Amino acid sequence: MNGKCLCGNVEFSIDGHLPHLYQCHCSLCRKLSGSSSDTATFLNKEQFSWLKGESMINSFKTETGYRSDFCSKCGSNVPHLMDNGKQFWIPAGLLDGTGKSQIAAHLFVESKASWDNICDYGKQYEEMPDIEILNKILQEISR
């Protein structure tokens, strides 16, 4: 499976099984996405490779450590290596398809926008769950 930014200058490839997805409803992800949430997943480093455009990527990091990597031409969020050094954060909207992946979890639902209605069966967390718990949920085989 492949993915790319809006202008196509940054492209990447995913090898193997795509984990399930999560939606983060925190205020930072709402600002980043311009919507009610940001939809993404985590992927093991060995499954990810850049096809082109890695030099086109810029980064922004807040004082609290919130990170956003984006294409310097079109501004699309793009994958980045997570702080654990073992996984890439993958924005789902860049993927050419998601196969059988589903929304498995909703994060920071305590701070979701008042107009945001969660209408699926993904597990809801008031804040960020332990990363290992979230990884386990995302890796579960399709229900």
For all residues of the chain together, what is the average pLDDT? 91
- pLDDT tens digits for range 94-134: 999 878 889 999 999 999 988 988 888 899 999 999 888 99
**CA atoms of 133 and 80, how far apart (whole Å):** 21
For residue 143, name the pLDDT band (cuts at 50, 70, 90).
very low
Q: Which domains are assigned to the chain?
A: 2-139 (2.170.150.70)
Report the predicted TM-score, pTM, of the whole model to 2 decimal places: 0.87
Q: For residues 1-25, give the mean pLDDT.
A: 94
How many CA atoms does the CB half-sphere of 82 hold within 13 Å? 16
